[in-house]
Amino acid sequence: MIINGEKQTLIEPVSLDVFLKREGYQKNRIAVERNGEIVPKSEYETVIVTDSDLLEIVTFVGGG
């Protein structure tokens, strides 16, 4: 699996929701692209990520 350009090993397929929780991401502050397509937040629990996936995870930061 490649996440934001860095190789990472995923031992077993899991839902995107579980993966993001394991990695410490807050779902309300990110956007996820999987294999070139944006994943709607409503699909995080049903989309299964595998070791062959390419993920780009963008974190939103407030400022002013």
CATH 3.20.20.140 fits 2-59, yes or no: no
pLDDT of 62: 74
Centre a 10 Å sphere on the Cβ of residue 28 and count the other Cβ atoms it contains: 7
From 8-17, 26-35, 54-63, the region with the lowest mean pLDDT: 54-63
**How many CA atoms does the CB half-sphere of 42 hold within 13 Å?**
0
64 pLDDT above the threshold of 70: no
Q: pLDDT at position 60, please? A: 85
User: Whole-structure pTM over 0.85, yes or no?
Assistant: yes
55 vs 29: which has the higher pLDDT = 55
